[in-house]
Amino acid sequence: MSKPIPALTPIQIDKAQVIANFPKRPRDSHKGMFGTVAVIGGASGMVGAPLLAARAALKLGAGCVHVGLLAENAPAVDLLQPELMLHRVHDALQQVIDPDHNFKDSVIPAQAGIQLNKSTGFPPSRERQNTVLAIGCGMGRDMAAQKLLYDALNIDAALILDADALNILAQRPDLRTLMLSRKNATVITPHPGEAARLLGCEIKEVQEDRIAAVQQLAHKFGCSVVLKGANSLCITRNGKLFINQTGNPGMSAAGMGDVLTGMIAAFIAQGMPADDALLLAVHLHGAAGDALAEQQATIGMTATEVTEWARWLLNQWQLQ
């Protein structure tokens, strides 16, 4: 890791405080009040990852959830969750940018990598305060994925980077400039291996001083960070450091990170500031795993089960 930054003392995430920040639903609610999430990823053989994230976003309250899939043989519908709207990648991005404008051929062909900046720009955008793009789950690292991430970094919406989006960011240092220039909320959610790649160090170094690692990530990329693992660390955009104490070894399973990404996206879409959203999502994600472990033990725990428990717990916490 690079030059040390003075270490912060982490604050324990407080359940009462984070749930208090979750907005109450008025009786005359409609789906448009609870935001739009677009989950982008799903290269061949990895379609399950964005579906897990999208299902979590839906179950945790997002009003509309779109899924943009890279795989040529991607399904047209999620039979287990038909409420999700599945698209090819460019169509899902259109939902984030401007649903009233046709980008299919003119601006974002599926694998074109058009520059999307102030000079070429999108048409004047509609209000996207409650629109969230989550990118990287099962996306792969090929050139099409790299161009897709480049485009996403230029989109004027809240952005969550996970999985292969982080691996691409590590191998393409030129994208860091785009990260640092973003004005919208941006969150990265690396596990220790991804954190090591982003920092150009060994996993051992990250794990030996996780506080230093998460601070370095926030400083390097100018965004909020969740460093996943036992006692996940969260650093907000204004530099506050938090530690989470929910979760258990049963959550060391495929898809758990995808579910967390979907949860963060859902909470931002519903109007929470990004930093409040990530703190609630991290704490609730671990608590759902703990509730599941208490009922059924830890071995064989799945990400889908955690999503269901997270939905149940969120509703219970709101009633307390």
Residue % of the chain over a pLDDT of 70: 88
Judged against a pLDDT cut of 80, whether residue 102 lies above it is answered with: no
The pLDDT of residue 117 = 38
- pLDDT at 15 (0 to 100): 96
pLDDT tier, 5 (very low <50, low <70, confident <90, very high otherwise): confident
* Boundaries of every domain in the chain: 11-319
Say if CB 213 and CB 206 are below 8 A apart: yes
Cβ atoms 209, 182 nearer than 8 A: no
Write b or e for each residue in 90-120: b if 16 or more Cβ atoms lie within 10 A of its Cβ, otherwise e. bbbbbbbbbeeeebeeebbebeeeeebeeee
pLDDT digits (tens, 9 = 90+) for 50-91: 999 999 999 999 999 999 999 999 999 999 999 999 999 888
297 has pLDDT over 50: yes
The confidence score (pLDDT) of residue 94 equals: 77
* 33-45: pLDDT as tens digits: 999 999 999 999 9
Condensed to tens digits (0 to 9), the pLDDT of residues 130-160 reads: 899 999 999 999 999 998 999 899 998 999 9
pLDDT of the residue at 104: 47
Class of domain 11-319: alpha beta
What pTM was computed for the model? 0.92
pLDDT on residue 319: 87
State the Rg of the chain over Cα. Answer: 18
